[in-house]
């Protein structure tokens, strides 16, 4: 029987976990960088709306980061459909959440 972990690097799981953890940091960093660009533009031009333009760019960059992380996670979970450990749950659903615990 061949081990399918032979092709994976030793710390691949840790790298994936750190990549997911860095999402929160990247959201804050994107907004701070956008603020910095907007503040710099405000100092150069004297217009207040350029500050808001920079903040909007930062928020847009943060949204793009969240979208990319979502797509990456979706690809990982799509691969689980063919995994035999999860085949029963994919075929028949998860029955543990069907009961309503509020009716005690």
Q: For the full predicted model, state whether its pTM sits above 0.85.
A: no
Residue 1's pLDDT band (boundaries 50, 70, 90)?
very low
Q: What is the pLDDT of residue 97?
A: 56
pLDDT one-digit tens code per residue, 42-62: 999 999 999 999 999 999 999
Write down the residue that tokens 């959440």 correspond to.
97
Q: 17-26 long-range contacts, Cβ below 8 Å, gap at least 24?
A: 19/72, 20/69, 20/73, 23/65, 23/66, 23/69, 26/62, 26/65
Q: What is the DSSP string of 31-47?
A: HHHHHHHHHHHHHHH--
Going from the C-alpha of 16 to that of each of 30, 57, 71, 81, 104, the distances in angstroms are 21, 27, 14, 20, 41
Place of tokens 């980061």: 65
């Amino acid at each position: 029987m061949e081990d399918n972990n032979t092709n994976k690097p030793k710390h691949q799981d840790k790298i994936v976990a750190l990549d997911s953890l860095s999402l929160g940091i990247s959201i804050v960093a994107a907004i701070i960088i956008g603020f910095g660009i907007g503040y710099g533009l405000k100092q150069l031009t004297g217009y207040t709306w350029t500050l808001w333009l920079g903040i909007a760019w930062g928020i847009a960059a943060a949204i793009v980061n969240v979208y990319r992380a979502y797509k990456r996670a979706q690809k990982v979970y799509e691969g689980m459909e063919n995994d035999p450990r999860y085949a029963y749950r994919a075929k028949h659903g998860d029955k543990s959440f069907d009961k309503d615990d509020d009716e005690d």
